[in-house]
Amino acid sequence: MKGDDKMSNSCICIACDVKSSRKIDKDFVSILIQCAKDMNTDYQSDLLIPFDVRNGDELIGVVRDFSKGYAITRRLKDVLAEKEIFLYIGVGLGQLESTNATIHTMNGSAVINALEARDRFLKKNHTEARAWLVDEKRSNTFFYSKEYPYQALNALNYSIEDKIQHRSGKQQEVVRMVNEQPNLTYEQIGIKMGYKSPKSTVSYLLRRADHHTVQALNDSLIELLEELQNWFNKEGS
């Protein structure tokens, strides 16, 4: 992360706020702090502003690439869901005034858009976000940019999350195995999982899990984010 005093090229700001934080009877602040440390270690080269905790229940950071920022939001949701912590996640596309800043001093359209996505659209149940809202036991994400259309991103993200949410335990397990060991055949994965008809069972579970549909949606979302970032950078050059 190189500090400078100039307006950066496009970037993506991720602004999280813990849902119903006053009702949580665990030390979620220390969990957020550890989560920030893990993100900063694992994605060090991708961050313009490291993740940090603000006001006790907010987790905020800025990522260089749009598509990598999307991957980080997915990781944040999964990690904190394991601790039964659920988030409002505002994702702002735009620019950063300076990388020589912290989450407490930074400014720029990416930051403003992320906070607006979280606080105005998600937390205030804005009509534009209402179609993508889920219950309190799941995290909500909303992409926002004043410069370019953003609802296609939200539609794709919601479709992905909705299909993943409805997977059974067996479906989740086989998808995890396929993703973690892509060199194995369905037959080999099925044998590892102890199925009597390994290839056909794995194929059936993946089909029921909408695995290939989710992959296609995910690829489309990443492609759209990359194209949007190209447009941002052309406009800013």
Average pLDDT, the chain: 93
Q: Which residues of 53-79 are buried (b: 16+ CB within 10 A; e: fewer)?
A: beeebbbbbbbbbbbbbbbbbbebbee
pLDDT digits (tens, 9 = 90+) for 215-232: 999 999 999 999 999 998
pLDDT at site 8: 61
pLDDT of residue 147 exceeding 90, the answer is no
pLDDT at 3: 45
List, in sequence order, every residue forming a beta bridge with 48; answer none if it has no partner. Answer: none
Among residues 153, 97, 96, the alpha carbon closest in space to that of 121 is found at: 153
Tell me the three state secondary structure of residue 220: helix
- With 60 as the cut, is the pLDDT of residue 62 above it? yes
Polymer length of the chain: 237
Rounded CA separation 25/38 (Å): 23
